[in-house]
Structure 1
Amino acid sequence: MSEQESQIALIFFGGAFLIIMMSTFIVSMVVLHRQRQVQNRQKLDHLKAENEKMLLHVENEIQQETLSHIGRELHDNIGQLLSLAKISLHSSKPEKQAEGKEYIVQIIKEVRALSKTLNLDWVESITLDEFISQQLEKIQSTGFCQTTFESDHSFLELSKNQKLVLIRVIQECLNNAIKHAHPNRISIHIAKNRSLRKIEIVDDGAGFDTSQQSQGSGMINLKKRMETIGGHFSLTSKVGNGTHITLELPF
């Protein structure tokens, strides 16, 4: 074989080798890319399943809270009205019997109102501002502490899932303030900037050490709930200086 033929053969085999190497590299990259796609899809499916699980848990908690409320209303309010109606209707005086009939009408109204809260339809029929106002009015009406609420109505446009999570997180924050902080005042302020909507929940109560594990686990749970709707939870507190909670949600 001549020198020229040897060079041509060398070039041919060298080119073939490069082609094989490039083909192997390309196939490897395609396989790696597909593996990453599968892994990312699995991660997304897992995250979606976790979010759906969290939302279902939130729904169950709200339903339990609703059932507890109905139980209290049946015992404290409707039970009392039924007793008064029974006493009035057993009276021989016409005016007392008339009072008894009025009690029955009031009882029917109360039962109808309670029946509407047996499912989560009420979540769609109420705005977040209205819910917060009702919660704060209940707290103040008990004489537990003073409350204030200011809003620029930036949370009027919410999906059902967003509203469910925010309602439950706010409930939890208010319950914690009542149980542990013993404040003189609880304030909630809603405002927005260009990209974020904020809910600030502030109390002037006892405050606590945020490094304590028992409090930390509760905060982690609230953070996870906000993350399921693309939001953010933050808390600052110091013993003797109250607690400041911020809930942020992008537009």
Structure 2
Amino acid sequence: MQSEFPEVAIVIVTTIILLLFLVGFIVIMLILNQKSRLTQVQELRLMEEKYEQELLRTQLEIQENIFGNLSQEIHDNIGQSLTFVSLSLLTVPVENGSEAHLYIEESRKMLQKAIAELRDLSKGLQTERIIDIGLVKSIEFELQRLERTNLYKTSFNFTDVQNLMDSQTETILFRTVQEMLNNIVKHARASELEIHLTHENDTINLEIRDNGIGFDPGTLLEKEHSKGLGLRNIRKRAALIGGTCNINSIKNGGTTIRITIPVNKQPFHEHNEESQI
């Protein structure tokens, strides 16, 4: 009996050691499997982000092409047609000073104003013009359009950002400004707005403030899914050029949107050099 005890003890110890190795092996495999899953999730997330960026790039390229066609259509057809109508009114045989003459003159003034507005709209749609005159001049032009409505008081403060961004980044940033101004006109009920464009260290900062009705930050997520506000588009465009977007709003206290992008570090250009927005 005594000789059997060491053998039993050896079997027990050996079994325990094997079980420990088995448990250790299972734990290691679980850890490796978890890491593999995390890696797969991260890869899928990166693939999704790249897909969304690629989709947005394509959408922007299509948008710029549409804008170019619209601009040409406005200039070549609509604008010329309205000009022809305005000139035709000059040939109407009516007596100077008569009620009909005054009515025609008032109609011509309205037509001339419409022609001027269409001309300004056409210029704002031209990608080549934005590239030619630069970001600062393009923003000034948009603010002047708002000023002429006599509904807004605007201000624009900027530092020299020339040559700090390529034409693609400037175009995307300008379209973002247009989106923000459009949101203000449609939703903010503001009377004053100001834009700040600054260059600090290795970043370019664009900030737009208005004195409108604002909104409750607690409902920001809900409003981001509203087609009217377009906040998601603004954030996506900022991300496309390597930037961040911060939105602060106070109920009945106005809204401030700040976009920050790194100088000469925009990932947009990794797409390809043939894609020209």
TM-score norm. by structure 1 comes to: 0.65
Shift of 1:52: 1.9
Deviates more, 1:128-137 or 1:180-189: 180-189
Cα gap change, 1:60 to 1:33, in 2 (>3 Å): same
Name the structure 2 match of 1:128.
135
Name the structure 1 match of 2:213.
207
Deviates more, 1:151-160 or 1:52-61: 151-160
Name the structure 2 match of 1:26.
28
Name the structure 1 match of 2:231.
220
Q: CA separation in 1, counterparts of 2:209 and 2:67?
A: 23
Name the structure 1 match of 2:51.
49
Name the structure 1 match of 2:259.
247
Task: Write the mapping of 1:144-183 to structure 2, written as runs, cut at 5 A.
Answer: 145-154=152-161, 156-158=163-165, 162-179=169-186
Q: For 2:235, what is the secondary structure of its paired residue?
A: helix
Q: For 2:208, what is the secondary structure of its paired residue?
A: strand
Q: CA separation in 2, counterparts of 1:182 and 1:164?
A: 27
Q: For 2:213, what is the secondary structure of its paired residue?
A: coil
Name the structure 1 match of 2:194.
187
Q: Any conservation in 1 of the 2:205–2:260 contact (CA below 8 Å)?
A: yes
Structure 1: which 5+ residue stretches go unaligned? 85-113
Query: How large is the RMSD of aligned CA atoms in angstroms?
Result: 4.0
Name the structure 1 match of 2:273.
none
Q: Any conservation in 2 of the 1:231–1:247 contact (CA below 8 Å)?
A: yes
Shift of 1:46: 1.2
Report the count of equivalent residues. Answer: 220
Q: What do the CA deviations read for 1:119-174 (whole angstroms, capped 9, x no partner)?
A: x5666656432332332344446666454322123585336664443222211122
Q: CA separation in 1, counterparts of 2:256 and 2:247?
A: 8
* 1:38 matches 2:51: no
Cα gap change, 1:238 to 1:23, in 2 (>3 Å): closer
Match 2:71 to one of 69, 72, 91: 69
Q: CA separation in 1, counterparts of 2:200 and 2:255?
A: 23
Share of identical aligned residues, percent?
A: 18
Q: For 1:247, what is the secondary structure of its paired residue?
A: strand
